[in-house]
Amino acid sequence: MNQTTQGSRLEIQGVNKFFGDFCALENIDLTIEPGELVCFLGPSGCGKTTLLRIIAGLEQQSAGQLSQGDVDISLKPPRDRDFGIVFQSYALFPNMTVSDNIAYGLRSIGMAKARIRSRVDELLTVIGLEDHARKYPAQLSGGQQQRVALARALAPSPGLLLLDEPLSALDAQVRHHLRSEIRNLQKQLGVTTIMVTHDQEEALAMADRVVVMNNGVIEQVGTPLEIYQQPASAFVASFIGAMNFIDSAAVNGQRVRVGSRELELVRPMPESQDCVRLAIRPEDVHLLPAGDGDWEGQVESMDYLGAFIRTHIRLADLERLLVVDVDPRSARQLNLANGASVCLQLPSDALHCFAA
C-alpha cells in the first residue's frame, strides 16, 4: 500500500461501567500510543468487549473520559469518532458484493466514484482477494470473510482499528496464518490497533503490549515478555502460561519458610505479610539426580507433550504436586520414570511471590 495512515493516541481515564448494579468496568486508566497493537486479554466476562465498545462509543461509560489525539471523545457518538471495527461475526452485509462491502464506508463520506474504485482495488490487492471482488460474502470461506471485514474497516483509513475476537471463528491453521497477516498489515499501515482476545497465545504472539483484565479491572499492562516474566499479580501469573503456587510463611524480608525448610528470595516480598504465595514456572524448576540435593521427591506421573515432558512430582513439604517441565534429554539423564526419586532446586531468581 502506497499510503500509510497515521495512527492516533488514545487515552482512557477513570472509566467505569455499570449495568444496573453490576460493575462491569472499574476505574480503567490506559494510554495507547500511536501505531501500537494492544491486546485486551482476560477470561470470559471480564469486560473486554465492554471496554472496546466504550472506546467505539457503542456503549456509554458510566463515568470517565476518553480522548483520541487531542480530541475529547467521551461524549461523541460512534459516527463522530475515528475508528474502524471488526466484530467476531464480521457482520458483513450479505446482500452486497465484496467490493460494495469495502466501499460502504467510502460512499458514506462522499468520496468520488473513481477514487472509491481505486481505493477498493488497492485494498483488494492488500488482502489478496482481487479475483473475488464480485462475490457475495456467503460465497467466501471464513478466512476470506475475515479479510473482507478487515478491509472494510480499514477502507476509510481510520486512526484506530478495533478488533473483537477477530480470529475466534476460524480453525487453528487459518488462525495462525491470519495472525501474522494482520500483524504485518497493521505495522505497514501504522494504524493504532486494539484487539480483544481470550487466547493468550494469540495475545503474546501479536501484541506490542498486553492489557490483562479480570473482573472489570486491569491487572497488568506490559509487553508480552514483561507479562510472562514479571506477572504483577497471582491472577496474571496463573492466567498466562503455567505456574506452580506454594504457600509459605515469611521469616524476614528476604526469607520464607516452606514446610520445614527456608528459602531465600531475590524479589521483594509484599510488605507486612505473614504468609506469602510463592510461584514458579514449571520450566524454571531445576531437577537433579536423586541424592544430589537435599529436597527429594517422587515422580507421580509424566505427560509427553512433544518438545518437553510435563512431570508431576510429590514433595514431602507440599500438599500439592509440583509441576515441572523437563526436556527429553535431561529426563533420560535423570532416569525419570513413574515412581522414581529425584532431587530439585527452586532457583531464587525464578521465584515470584504474591500476597497470600
Ligand X SMILES: Nc1ncnc2c1ncn2[C@@H]1O[C@H](COP(=O)(O)OP(=O)(O)OP(=O)(O)O)[C@@H](O)[C@H]1O
- DSSP-derived 3-state class of residue 7: coil
Site string for ligand X, 2-21 (x = CB under 6 A): -----------------x--
Q: How far apart are CA 290 and CA 298, in angstroms?
A: 10
For β-strands 217-222 and 309-315, DSSP reports them as: unpaired
**Only segment of 51-59, 171-179, 184-192, 220-228 that touches another protein (CB under 8 A):** 51-59
For residue 238, which of 220, 252, 216 has the smallest C-alpha distance? 220
**Position 47 contacts ligand X (CB under 6 A):** yes
**Only segment of 43-51, 96-104, 113-121, 242-250 that touches Mg ion (CB under 5 A):** 43-51
Q: How far apart are CA 288 and CA 340, in angstroms?
A: 12
Q: How far apart are CA 99 and CA 281, in angstroms?
A: 49
Report H helices in the chain. Answer: 48-56, 98-108, 113-127, 142-154, 172-189, 200-206, 224-229, 234-239, 328-333
**Position 49 contacts Mg ion (CB under 5 A):** yes
Q: How far apart are CA 55 and CA 52, in angstroms?
A: 5
Using CB under 8 A as the binding rule, the residues of this chain from 152 to 171 that contact another protein are 152-153, 155-156, 158, 162
Size of the site for Mg ion (CB under 5 A): 1
The item of Mg ion, ligand X, another protein, none sharing an interface with residue 56, based on CB under 5 to 8 Å by kind, is another protein
The item of another protein, Mg ion, ligand X, none sharing an interface with residue 44, based on CB under 5 to 8 Å by kind, is ligand X
Cβ atoms of residues 67 and 95 within 8 Å:
no
Q: Assign residue 179 a region: left if phi > 0, alpha if psi is -120 to 50, beta otherwise?
A: alpha
State which residue, 165 or 181, has the beta carbon closest to ligand X. 165
CA 61 to chain CA mean position, Å: 23
**Only segment of 66-74, 286-294, 310-318, 344-352 that touches another protein (CB under 8 A):** 66-74
**Position 50 contacts Mg ion (CB under 5 A):** no
Q: How far apart are CA 297 and CA 2, in angstroms?
A: 62
Residue from 12, 41, 55, 85 binding another protein (CB under 8 A):
85
**Position 74 contacts another protein (CB under 8 A):** yes
Site string for another protein, 312-341 (x = CB under 8 A): ------------------------------
Using CB under 6 A as the binding rule, the residues of this chain from 181 to 210 that contact ligand X are 198
**Position 277 contacts ligand X (CB under 6 A):** no
| Adjacent-strand bridge partners of 12 | 30, 66
**Only segment of 45-53, 78-86, 276-284, 288-296 that touches ligand X (CB under 6 A):** 45-53
Closest approach, Cβ 219 to ligand X, in A, equals: 13
Query: In whole angstroms, how far apart are CA 252 and each of 89, 232, 247, 263, 345?
Result: 54, 22, 16, 11, 21
Name the site residues for another protein (rule: CB under 8 A).
Answer: 13, 56-58, 60, 65, 67, 70-80, 82-85, 87, 89, 91, 93-96, 104-105, 108-109, 136-139, 152-153, 155-156, 158, 162
Name the site residues for Mg ion (rule: CB under 5 A).
Answer: 49
Name the site residues for ligand X (rule: CB under 6 A).
Answer: 19, 22, 24, 42, 44-50, 198
